[in-house]
Structure 1
Amino acid sequence: MSAERVFVRFDLTGTEEMPRELRTRLKLFDTMRITAIGADGSEASRKLTPEGFRPATNDWLMFAELPPVAGPPAAVILQVNGARHAGLFSDATLTSAPADTPGSLRFELILAAICGLLCVPLVFNFAFYRVLREKFLLWHAVAVVFMLIQTLVSSGLINRFADLSLKELCLISATSFSAGIVAAAYFSADLIEPGKLDPVHRLLMRLLAPWIAVFTAFYLFADGPLRPYATPAYYAAFIPVLVLFVWIMAVAARRGSRAVRFQIAAWSPIMIVGVVRVGSALGLSDVPLELQLEQHVAIALEVLITSLSVADRFMIIRKQRDLARADARVFEARATLDPLTGLLNRGVIEERFDRLRNEGFRTMAVIDLDHFKQVNDTHGHATGDAVLRAVAIALAPDEDTIAVRLGGEEFLLLLRGSDAAERAERRRIAISTRTLAEIPGLDRLVTASMGLVEQPEAGRLKGDFEVLYAHCDKLLYEAKAAGRNRTMSERLQSFAISHRRATRAAA
């Protein structure tokens, strides 16, 4: 739509009485002159700015009074400067019907009911969020708020309660619609289950925010020679948005996403309306189609169906969380502590090894006490048991260290952190001082040998518990063969290539 002057003529020949008002689609312009011509050749005119129009309360329309002429009318001519949208002309009509009719009031009640329906999901979203802190619940609430604002403004219902200018109405309508689409994209990116979309799909959904923001600002504020391109560019910008939504839904559906089924049902009506509006705005129909009522219904369906998807996803995640907690309780129940030392047993670590490694426990150390049989033979098994309990204290498990008794005088450490090897070595050295402090009368120093393996980042190296334990055990026996009371360590790059070092504590 050019910013140049445009003329529209209404021929009223044969009409007995001049219509009262000009009714047209609510769109911005610079100035407008309305000239009424009587059958006797008399003329009357009014010059209007956007502030001279009255917005409707039941549609995206606006009204302005026509200048009166004496006698039967012949024509009304509109002279419009700087119109931003062709709908200003395509929907222009002359009317004498009052704006507030029983039919329009009933329609306003329907619109109010739709707005009330849009408020319901907000209550459930915040209630769900108190139970399950998932971001998609907040994004859905944000999307619903903007869709509620869009419905209130584009339906005209807001004009019952607020005195807003045409410029303010257009600004709120465009920004709320765009922000609602962006929030819905963020919502979908977080809602669809892990593994059903690639990271690039979720990134593209989030990149819609700057894309839509740029074209919305251009649509609202472009002026001068850029003004003719504002409306086509704005509507054309939604073509890749529609394509992206369809593509991502197709990918997620092909990968078996349950959540995307709801999204397809929710977004299909509003996407169909969007395709028609974009196509008509770009010249595929004689006049641009607003489809306001269809948009209100599509938004209501989208919010309703999406709310069902939120509830469904909420129940699934909560069930998964409950199962995880039950699994943790089973893990704790089955993780029978070693009755002598209070440390975990080997079976528990073997079962949970993959998960622990993914959580960062990628350093394994196997520790064996040196000449422990001599302690039992010299001081008896009661003293030997006391030594084992003292060793458990020296190994000191914490949030980054898991200590296990493998059996007899053999122990295992799983550690995470950049200083894991150093912490393991300090614990090995501490065995000697701890046993002397805990067991009075012990006439020999209890030392320990250790085999330690450091793995690279999770995912680069495959290998189960037994494979890594075998590496540690081999290094342990090398430490024993080298004279005991020392550590042999290895940093694995692969199972064929490694870097090995030996350390020995001062006796």
Structure 2
Amino acid sequence: MSLRAWLVCVLLWAGCLPHAWAGVVDASRVGELSLGRDLQLLEDPDGTLDIAAAMRSRDFVPAVDGRTNFGFSASTWWVRIDLENPSPRPVSLVLQQDYPLIDELDLWQVQDGRVVGHEATGDRRPFASRPIRSRDFLFPVTVPAESRSQLFLRMRSDGSMNIGLTLQHTVPLLESHETRQLAFGLYFGGFFVLIVYNIFIFLAVRDRPFFYYLLYVTSYGLYFAIIDGLAFQFFWPNHPDWGNTSLLVMLSLTLLFGMHFTRSFLGTPRLTPRLDKVAFGLEILSVVAFVAAFGFSYNHVIIPISYLTIAITAMIITMGIIGLLRGVVAARYFMIAWGVLLSAVLVFMAKSFGWLPHNAFTQNAFQMGSLLEMVLLSLALAHRVREINRQSRTDALTQLPNRRIFDQALEREFVRHGQRGEPLTVLVVDIDHFKQVNDVHGHAFGDKVLRRVAKALADALGGRRMAFRYGGEEFAILLPGESGAQAREIAETLRRVVQEQTAALATITISVGGACTEDADFDHPNALFGAADHSLYAAKRGGRNRVVFHPAA
């Protein structure tokens, strides 16, 4: 493309841009006005300008495309807003700066070339310095009748410089304030409910991931209370220096507990040992950031900790993906939860570095994403509770219900037998010469035999018939509703099926002892089981690989 053609394209593109600055604001017609396109900016890199110099300056320029987010900026920023009131009555408005983490914020109102009002506040100054006591910076502004005024603001911050100015009448301000208060109540109420709920779950199951999750949620909630300016307003209004330090402290703890919760929840020391060591290193960096928050200035710590946030988030997502690929069921919930948060983190970090504009969505994306993440992580933990419950009911080796569940099932079926009069049979199964199998082939082979026998028994049964791992090489079977003759046929079938399905491994046989309520009177479930157990020993004394029922012939 020729230079001339390129210049034409640039001029055409520039001509299509929206007008950047709307000019003088008519205060008499303001209801609620976002000032992104109605203000002018002046960057003061050295921070040396005073109000007199700012009033004389001709270097103010409109915000490009209304963007007033400058990321981590060491400069002092000046804002000028031109107001007019052509009406015959004074107009009272409120100027709102919606980002509460501005260290120093000064406002001057200028009338006819002279300063008629000055307010000095910021989150590095006591909360009482605010003209209206609110988490946001609110300044009452009065524009006299048939006059022009100028507002000059000076902003300096060690953190991200987000200028979000709105000029409002008091009515829409009160309406939006009520809506925001409700939103905050729901948001932090949700955090509180999650904390209380998981305290009770932790006390019930005593599972470490729940404890780490509690630490994570608590530090996360406090971090957002600081970000939203509520902690400064209600917890330490007279200690502004601690306000900035507390943000670094809570963010460091959130990263530390979030990383540790992930490692514990997914079992990464076993799942991916090498990556787990890297994750442990990131935890150490979080501790370093925690200590640095007390010994270094805010602006020296906030940028490294922002990059650490991105690194830890990426590590957590990577671990979740590995867990998902390796079949960790809970990793599905985990990945959905962290996927939501990751999107929110990226939006918030892009806003903090000035890559995205400061607005209601980018400012609150982190909060919205975090609450959704907490709810989804609670679902993941609920799945873990179910898994813990399943493991407490299931034999880990054979995946059959364990002895505790057998005892409960036997008692339940015995009661049903007494109520309905239907027969109940108990079978006790023992693998013949199992000790020799272990001695000759080793315990790993013995475990394989146990799994194969358990599968053969479970596959041969169905309906209400249940197989259980009783202990060692013994299994127990309940046959509700089966007559004594039917139970004997089932027991013989099981003996034959086990021998057939283990033939590829070795010569494996079983002995079976049985007892049925049709054949004798039993006043207690333990008596029924004891009779089946005695029949098992009769089968072993009789030569093994056989079925013997009580009473033995």
Matched letter for residue 262 of structure 2: S
Which secondary structure state, in structure 2, belongs to the residue aligned with residue 8 of structure 1?
A: strand
Is 2:329 the counterpart of 1:252? no
User: Out of 350, 358, 365, which is 1:279 matched to?
Assistant: 350
Q: RMSD across aligned C-alpha pairs, in angstroms?
A: 4.4
Q: What TM-score does the superposition give when structure 2 sets the normalisation length?
A: 0.52
For residues 219 and 368 of structure 2, the distance between their equivalents in structure 1, rounded to whole angstroms, comes to 15
Deviates more, 1:70-79 or 1:312-321: 70-79
User: Out of 203, 212, 225, which is 1:139 matched to?
Assistant: 212
Matched letter for residue 280 of structure 1: K
Is 2:168 the counterpart of 1:91? no
Give 1:357 shift: 12
Matched letter for residue 61 of structure 1: D
Tell me the equivalent position of 1:44: 116
Q: Deviations over 1:102-133 (max 9, x none)?
A: 44223322322232222333344333334433
Matched letter for residue 72 of structure 1: S
Give 1:305 shift: 0.9
Could you say if the C-alpha distance between residues 104 and 24 of structure 1 is closer, same or farther in structure 2, counting changes exceeding 3 Å? closer
Q: Deviations over 1:1-55 (max 9, x none)?
A: 45454322122245764644453411242x54422111x2232342624222368
Matched letter for residue 79 of structure 1: R
Tell me the equivalent position of 1:27: 101
Q: Deviations over 1:355-377 (max 9, x none)?
A: 8999xxxxxxxxxxxxxxxxxxx
Could you say if the C-alpha distance between residues 352 and 265 of structure 1 is closer, same or farther in structure 2, counting changes exceeding 3 Å? farther
Could you say if the C-alpha distance between residues 296 and 32 of structure 1 is closer, same or farther in structure 2, counting changes exceeding 3 Å? closer
Deviates more, 1:197-206 or 1:151-160: 151-160
Matched letter for residue 147 of structure 2: P
Which secondary structure state, in structure 1, belongs to the residue aligned with residue 389 of structure 2?
A: helix
Aligned residues: 346
For residues 196 and 166 of structure 2, the distance between their equivalents in structure 1, rounded to whole angstroms, comes to 42
Tell me the equivalent position of 1:211: 285
For residues 286 and 330 of structure 1, the distance between their equivalents in structure 2, rounded to whole angstroms, comes to 59
Is 2:409 the counterpart of 1:320? no
For residues 441 and 429 of structure 2, the distance between their equivalents in structure 1, rounded to whole angstroms, comes to 10
For residues 99 and 350 of structure 1, the distance between their equivalents in structure 2, rounded to whole angstroms, comes to 84
Matched letter for residue 130 of structure 2: F
Matched letter for residue 313 of structure 1: R
Give 1:147 shift: 2.7
Is 2:80 the counterpart of 1:9? yes
For residues 188 and 222 of structure 1, the distance between their equivalents in structure 2, rounded to whole angstroms, comes to 29
Counterparts in 2 of 1:50-449, with a 5 A limit? Answer: 50-51=125-126, 52-53=129-130, 61-65=136-140, 72-80=147-155, 82-88=156-162, 90-97=163-170, 101-156=174-229, 162=235, 164-165=237-238, 166-193=240-267, 197-215=271-289, 222-223=296-297, 227=299, 230-285=301-356, 287=358, 291-324=362-395, 327=402, 346=435, 354=443
Could you say if the C-alpha distance between residues 145 and 286 of structure 1 is closer, same or farther in structure 2, counting changes exceeding 3 Å? closer
Matched letter for residue 114 of structure 2: S
Give 1:68 shift: 8.3
Check whether the contact 2:347–2:366 (CA below 8 A) recurs between aligned residues: no
For residues 289 and 218 of structure 1, the distance between their equivalents in structure 2, rounded to whole angstroms, comes to 31
For residues 206 and 284 of structure 1, the distance between their equivalents in structure 2, rounded to whole angstroms, comes to 30
Give 1:265 shift: 1.0
Give 1:261 shift: 0.8
Unaligned runs of 5+ in 1: 337-343, 359-507
Unaligned runs of 5+ in 2: 1-71, 407-426, 448-553
Matched letter for residue 53 of structure 1: R
Could you say if the C-alpha distance between residues 109 and 160 of structure 1 is closer, same or farther in structure 2, counting changes exceeding 3 Å? farther
For residues 144 and 220 of structure 2, the distance between their equivalents in structure 1, rounded to whole angstroms, comes to 44
Give 1:213 shift: 4.4
Q: Deviations over 1:152-195 (max 9, x none)?
A: 44445557754635444444444334422321221111111578
For residues 169 and 159 of structure 2, the distance between their equivalents in structure 1, rounded to whole angstroms, comes to 25
Check whether the contact 1:334–1:348 (CA below 8 A) recurs between aligned residues: no
Check whether the contact 1:175–1:216 (CA below 8 A) recurs between aligned residues: yes
Which secondary structure state, in structure 2, belongs to the residue aligned with residue 179 of structure 1?
A: helix
Identity %: 15
Which secondary structure state, in structure 2, belongs to the residue aligned with residue 244 of structure 1?
A: helix
For residues 100 and 220 of structure 1, the distance between their equivalents in structure 2, rounded to whole angstroms, comes to 38
Q: What TM-score does the superposition give when structure 1 sets the normalisation length?
A: 0.56
Check whether the contact 1:277–1:290 (CA below 8 A) recurs between aligned residues: no
